[in-house]
Structure 1
Amino acid sequence: MYKLLSDLSIIEVSSFVASPTIGLYCGQMGAEVIRVDHKVGGLDYDRYLLTSEGRSLSWENLNRGKKSVALDLQSGEGRELLVELARTTGQVVTNLPEKSFLSHTAMSEGRDDLVSVRIMGWHDGRQAMDFTVNAASGYPLMCGPEDWDPATAPPVNQVLPAWDFITGAYGAFALLAALRHRDTTGEGSEVRIPLGDVAIGTMANSGAMAEMLYRGGDRERLGNAIWGAFGRDFRSKDGVRFMVAALTPKQWSGLIEAFGVEQEIAALESELGVRFADGDTPRFANRHRLFELFQHAADGFDWTELSQRMAKAGTTFEKYRTMHEAANDPVLVANNPLFGPSPANPSGFEYPATRSFANMPEKPVGDPAPAPYLGQHSEEILAERLGLSSGSIAKLVDAGIVRLSDKE
């Protein structure tokens, strides 16, 4: 964890992926992130997969390094405490509906410089989640084998909730932009980020929307091939599947060298009347002939030899792994400075934990922090932020308005 945001405190009222990711990333840069949940846990507190102790590994990893306050958010008094925490702190991240007790208007009463970032479904207020906005984006109908019949082929969903994580990253950026604006002008901001707009907007930013409008129809399915360039999965002589990509002249020439296909490429260029070194267009347009040529060459190499040849030639490639293999890979995890030692996780399960994705060589980076127990910091935060006495807090605990740590 870096200390770049050590002077920043954020109230987070979140669930699932996108909104908690904002706090996670800010926390990894040193911010104090105070997650406030309903006293029995938010909607994601017991999200699958649970350990034998009943702890969610998803929750544990999305909430590393945060502090936890647990209130009865179904009661008026609990909600008032949360709103007061928001006002006192001045920065709030949430995915609760705007038309709720935690509206920007309610939080900013008496605090004109309050900054709130709210993750929404769609811009018009409809509910959404990653897999539904992905369905709307068109991407699942671009995935799948090339020979599937477009009229009858099913969609292919991606496993990673990518739109959630992109939204979380954009939310962290938008929060810091609003805080920068406040530093300059003294003005607060209400920032609303619809998950659906992130998906459709990203599709547009990539050029895919313009492409569909220009071509007047949909792009064909490509299987595992890369759109508009040379790249695909291949299989070595001993059955290892791997992915290669050649988007630059160096990558392309290195691939030819590694596979030992100089003469075959020259013959194919002569036959087709093209120069594959001229760029992506001739390579993509003739991809099927090239795929056949490279796969034939791969049939002559075991993976160990071919991978060594590709590495020596400076190509861009990677072997396919199962996720379990990736989690146990020494290069990806054990010897990667991204990962630190296992903190004292609430689950009791020890495993590598991530530091900040950003690497700052001149700055010390600490070890990953554990996720909190639900309600672990309720007493601390209510005393420090709202000035409540220990007696007042004890009364709130006895009344069921405040919950302390669920460690036991």
Structure 2
Amino acid sequence: MGPLAGLRILDLTSVLMGPYATQVLGEMGADVIKVEAPDGDVTRQIGPQRNPGMGPVFLNANRGKRSVAMDLKAPGAAQALLRLAKTADVLVTNVRPRAMARLGLGPEALAEANPRLIQAALVGFDQQGPYADRPAYDDLIQGAAGIPHAFERSGRAPAYIPTAAADRIVGLAAVNAILAAVIERERSGLGQRVEIPMFETMAAMVMGDHMGGLVYDPPHGPSGYPRHLSPDRRPYATADGWICALVYTDAHWRRFFAAIGRPEMPDADARYATFPARMANINLVYAELSAILQTRTTEDWLALFQEADIPAMPMHTFESLLEDPHLAATGFFRREEHPTEGPILGMAVPARFSRTPAAPDRPAPALGRDGETVLAEAGFSADEIAALAEAGALRRPA
């Protein structure tokens, strides 16, 4: 029983941003009811699959949920969803607001069905601005928020971070906003609409680091955080591989130079002596560090950095990460038995709670697996459920 046990989430999200947010809530104990289109969430089709519709991206964004497959455009479906909303604490959607309104599921209809309902809308852009109706995907938002430009400023070709960074970061922002609304409702007794825009969330994250001199009016220096934009801020090549090291504070640099037999360096070269001096010469400093680290093996450097108490980690591959000794000791990756997919490798909830441990109590569900059960819990009779199925509003599991 996680810390959110007793909280019911009606999840009308698809792809990754919304499903990741609701998975986090489900892993902490919320009862998450995922309402999918009859063909299912598109992420079911991504990656290698043992069974159709159960791909790895879906399995890792939908743990702890129950699945109801509904065609919200079919007769009776919107009314059925409003009845489900009466039993929920939170409704989460990344369907564009105008599309929700066309279905008869706009904010007013939902609030009338359940005045205590928190309506969380994950949108591409703040709905008060001119981009309100534009489609939004992770790649587009990364570009608009300046992430490819940061690569360009560091001397490389513009690029996206090769993971769905915007989807997952905004998903976590949605979790924060939803839980804040839940806390407020405990005081007021009233639900409200919460809007979490991708563009603004990512712009705030990127510019929090890179506003630089633009934060002042008029500007007082250039934009960008020089250390982050240094071309040598990257994994360093060693004699036999790669290493991730951060020689950062004055004490780190003195211990580093002492460990490699050059203790005089910080006093002999003022560019290495203080934090401001290193920031002013960061490209030179990192280039020199890069050259030094090529002279020894990764194992040698890891041992030296540990002895000198300087932050360093190996540069893992996706495969070697599974064998990391720390993750093995904490049980982060764990083999589980999925009811339809057989043995799979799952991941633990990173947060630890002393009294109410968080863990997904359900595997990612087959499409429509729980539809009849969820509707029956909401008070639908067997005849009403059969009628919804007959009208094409409810898809029963194969």
Report the TM-score when normalising by structure 1.
0.85
d(CA) in 2 for partners of 1:354, 1:89:
27
**Unpaired segments ≥5 residues, structure 2:** none
Q: Is the 1:63–1:371 contact (alpha carbons within 8 Å) kept by the matching residues of 2?
A: yes
The letter for the 1-side match of 2:236 is F
Partner deviation per Cα, 1:147-186 (whole Å, 9 max, x = no partner): 56xxxxx421111221211111111111111111111011
Could you tell me which residue of structure 1 aligns to residue 303 of structure 2?
A: 308
Q: Identify which of 289, 296, 308 aligns with 1:294.
A: 289
| Amino acid paired to 1:374 | L
In structure 2, the partner of 1:10 is 9
> What is the match of residue 151 of structure 1?
none
Check 1:212–1:345 CA distance in 2 against 1; reply closer, same or farther (3 A cut).
Answer: farther
Relative to structure 1, is the Cα distance of residues 170 and 379 closer, same or farther in structure 2, using a 3 angstrom cutoff?
Answer: same
Match of 2:363 in 1: 370
Mapping of 1:105-124 within 5 angstroms?
Answer: 105-123=108-126, 124=129
In the alignment, does 2:251 pair up with 1:256?
no
- Distance in 2 (alpha carbons) for counterparts of 1:243 and 1:139: 21
Judged with a 3 Å threshold, the aligned counterparts in structure 2 of structure 1 residues 145 and 243 are, in CA distance, closer, same or farther, namely: farther
2:374 is matched with 381
Aligned pairs (5 A) from 1:234-273: 234-237=236-239, 239-267=240-268, 269=269
Cα distance in 2 for residues equivalent to 1:322 and 1:254 = 29
Residue of structure 2 in register with 1:85 after alignment: 84
> In structure 2, what is the Cα distance between the partners aligned to 1:296 and 1:200?
35
Residue matched to 1:175: 178
Asked whether the 8 Å contact 1:354–1:368 carries over to 2, the reply is no
Partner amino acid for 1:261?
A: R
Aligned to 1:278: 274
Q: Is the contact made by 2:259 and 2:304 (CA closer than 8 Å) also made in structure 1?
A: yes
Kindly provide the amino acid, as one letter, of the partner of residue 172 in structure 1.
V
One-letter code of the match for 2:301? L
Q: Structure 2 vs 1, CA of residues 218 and 303 (structure 1 numbering), >3 Å: closer, same or farther?
A: same
Q: Which of the numbers 326, 335, 343 marks the counterpart of 1:341?
A: 335
RMSD (Å), alpha carbons: 2.7
Instruction: Give the CA deviation at 1:295.
Output: 3.8
> CA 1:110–1:286 in structure 2 vs 1: closer, same or farther (change >3 Å)?
closer
Taking a change above 3 Å as real, the CA distance of residues 369 and 277 of structure 1, as seen in their structure-2 partners, is: farther
Q: CA deviation at 1:358?
A: 0.9
CA offset at residue 231 of structure 1?
5.3
Contact 1:37/1:73 (<8 A) preserved: no
User: Identity of aligned pairs, percent?
Assistant: 24
- Evaluate the alpha carbon distance shift between residue 14 and residue 7 of structure 1 in structure 2; reply closer, same or farther with a 3 A threshold: same
Q: In structure 1, what residue type is equivalent to 2:184?
A: H
Preserved contact between residue 229 and residue 283 of structure 1 (Cα < 8 Å): no
1:235-288 CA deviation, whole Å, 9 max, x = no partner?
A: 222x21112113334433343344343234443x2xxxx263432x21122334
Q: Evaluate the alpha carbon distance shift between residue 131 and residue 342 of structure 1 in structure 2; reply closer, same or farther with a 3 A threshold.
A: same
- What code does the residue aligned with 2:23 have? L
**Separation of aligned partners in 1, 2:209 and 2:271:** 26
Do the aligned residues in 1 keep the contact of 2:76 with 2:388 (CA within 8 Å)?
Answer: no
1:136, CA displacement in angstroms?
Answer: 1.2
- Confirm or deny that 1:357 pairs with 2:350: yes
1:192 maps to which of 189, 192, 195: 195
Q: Does the Cα contact within 8 Å between 2:139 and 2:160 map onto a contact in 1?
A: yes
Quote the offset at 1:94 in angstroms: 0.7
Matched position secondary structure for 1:89: coil
Question: Would the aligned equivalents of 2:154 and 2:229 in 1 still touch at CA under 8 Å?
Answer: no
Distance 1:335 1:30 in 2: 24
The amino acid of 2:385's aligned partner reads: I
Shift of 1:202: 2.0
State the one-letter code of the partner of 2:114.
R
Query: What amino acid sits opposite 1:388 in the alignment?
Result: F
In the aligned structure 1, how far is the partner of 2:356 from the partner of 2:2? Answer: 9
Name the CA distance, whole Å, in 2 between partners of 1:251 and 1:362. Answer: 38
